[in-house]
Structure 1
Amino acid sequence: MSEAFMALWASIVRTVVPIVVGAVLGWFASVNITLDPEFGGLLTALLTTLLTVIYYVAVRLFETYISPEIGWLLGYAKTPDSYSKDQQGRYEAE
């Protein structure tokens, strides 16, 4: 497989995993809260969004400042190369 495809795949995995984790955590957080059904759906969506952002930011900070191996919590330990520029200022995936 090409490097561009591998970088694309890594970025997709590193995007989807936090969404799934946030959805599961949001559901678990709201499952025992008894509310109006209409508000319950809104609360679950809000908790999912909030927990997804918190999870992603926390893992990225830990990955950057503590250990790159923590990136496995995003589904792929290596950050995608397509996010970095080469010496001439071009993106590597171009």
Structure 2
Amino acid sequence: MNLFASLMRTVVPIAVGVLLGLAARAGLDLDDATVTATLTTLYYALFRVLEEAAGRIGWEPLRVVAGVLLGWARPPAYNPPGEGAAR
């Protein structure tokens, strides 16, 4: 489950960045890769900061919305090294 959550939280911001890049490209003379990378980074950073801030102040609805907009309602949780690892 953590792998799926991690992948969703990577793929969704990229997809949104591509869509925002296409929207921004209409009428702009910018390199597609630059627009997409910039918008993807800004999108991810904005909602990740909101998610973290909402968690710190205990505002659960904002944390959930920010998480959903990142592709998964909660950040993936990872086991500490050595726990649950195959030996």
TM-score bracket, normalised by the shorter chain, equals: 0.7 to 0.9
TM-score scaled by structure 2? 0.78
How many equivalent residue pairs?
77
When Rg is computed on C-alpha atoms for both structures, the one with the higher figure is 1
> Aligned with 2:73: secondary structure?
coil
- The answer to whether the aligner puts 1:80 opposite 2:79 as a matched pair is no
Q: 1:12 aligns with which of 7, 30, 45?
A: 7
- Structure 2: any 5+ residue segments left out of the alignment? 55-61
| Aligned residue number for residue 32 of structure 2 | 44
Aligned in 2, Cα 1:9/1:30: closer, same or farther, shift over 3 Å?
Answer: same
Aligned identity (percent) is 39
Which residue identity lines up with residue 68 of structure 1 in the other structure?
A: R
Residue 22 of structure 1 corresponds to: 17
Q: CA RMSD in A?
A: 1.8
Specify the SS of the correspondent of 1:81: coil
TM-score (ref. length: structure 1): 0.72
CA–CA distance in 2 between the matches of 1:63 and 1:76?
Answer: 11
